[in-house]
Amino acid sequence: MELTSEEVRHIASLARLGLTDEEVETLQAQLGDILGHVNQLNELDTGNIPPTAMVIAVQDVVAEDEPRPSFPVDVMLANAPERKGNYFRTKAVLGYET
């Protein structure tokens, strides 16, 4: 099953991947092959089978609501590509600089 280039571009925009035209073309064929393979699951009747999200029986793990020290701001910002004061600095969200 082949995806259209529009479908590939739509998925890429959902995933926030700015693919080049060449990448879109390659992925069109490759995703088609992979989805063709995974579609063999349709051979199996799973009508009455519950889904498994978690293979071990651990449920509802909660932590005690106790305050404990957090990382210092400088440590958390140390890997940031850009910072301003105690904040991560990014490009403008709404298309203009403040």
Partner 1 sequence: MRPDTASLPDASIAELRALLDRREVSSVEATRAYLDHIGAVDGAVRAYLQVTEDVALQQAAEADARLAAGETGPVLGVPMALKDLISTEGIETTCGSRILRGYRPPYDATTYARLRKGGAVLLGKLNMDEFAMGSSNENSAFGITANPWDLSTVPGGSSGGSAAAVAAREAAFTLGSDTGGSVRQPAALCGVVGVKPTYGRVSRFGLIAFASSLDQIGPFTRTVEDSALVLSLIAGHDPLDSTSVPLAVPDYASALGGDLRGLRVGVPDEYFVEGIEPGVEGAVRAAIEQLESLGAQAVRVSLPSTGYALATYYIIAPSEASSNLARYDGVKYGYRSPEGEDLIETYLRTRDEGFGPEVKRRIMIGTYALSSGYYDAYYLKAQKVRTLIKAEFDRVFEQCDVIAAPTSPSVAFKLGSRTADPLSMYLSDVLTIPPSMAGIPAINVPCGFSDGLPVGLQLICKAFDEATMLRVAHAYERSTEWHLRRPPLLISVAGS
**Which residues contact partner 1 by CB under 8 A?**
3, 8, 11-12, 14-20, 23, 26-27, 30-31, 33-35, 37-44, 46, 49-56, 58, 61, 63, 71, 75-76, 78-82, 88, 90-95
Nearest-approach distance from CB 67 to partner 1, in angstroms: 15
Q: How far apart are CA 1 and CA 48, in angstroms?
A: 28
Q: Which is nearer to partner 1, 15 or 65 (CB)?
A: 15
Torsion of CA 76, 78, 80, 81, to 10 degrees: 180
Q: How far apart are CA 59 and CA 26, in angstroms?
A: 42
